[in-house]
Structure 1
Amino acid sequence: MKFINYLERITGVSVYPMISLLLFTTVFILVVIYAFKASDRTIKEMENLPLD
Structure 2
Amino acid sequence: MLKFIKGHMESMEGIEIYPIISLLIFFSFFVILFWWVFTAKKEYIKIVSNIPLDNNQNDTEL
Common fold: TM-score over 0.5: yes
Q: Distance in 1 between matches of 2:24 and 2:38?
A: 21
Say which one has the larger Rg. 2
Question: How many pairs are equivalent?
Answer: 51
Question: Which of 28, 31, 35 lines up with 1:29 in the alignment?
Answer: 31
Q: Which sections of structure 2, spanning at least 5 residues, go unmatched?
A: 55-62
TM-score by length of 1: 0.77
- Cα distance in 1 for partners of 2:20, 2:50 equals 38
Which protein has the bigger helix share? 1
Task: Return structure 1 stretches of 4+ with deviation > 3 angstroms.
Answer: none
- How large is the RMSD of aligned CA atoms in angstroms? 1.5
Question: TM-score, structure 2 length as denominator?
Answer: 0.67
Which is bigger in relative contact order (C-alpha 8 A, separation at least 6)?
A: 1
Identity of aligned residues (%): 33
Q: Which runs of 5+ in 1 are unaligned?
A: none
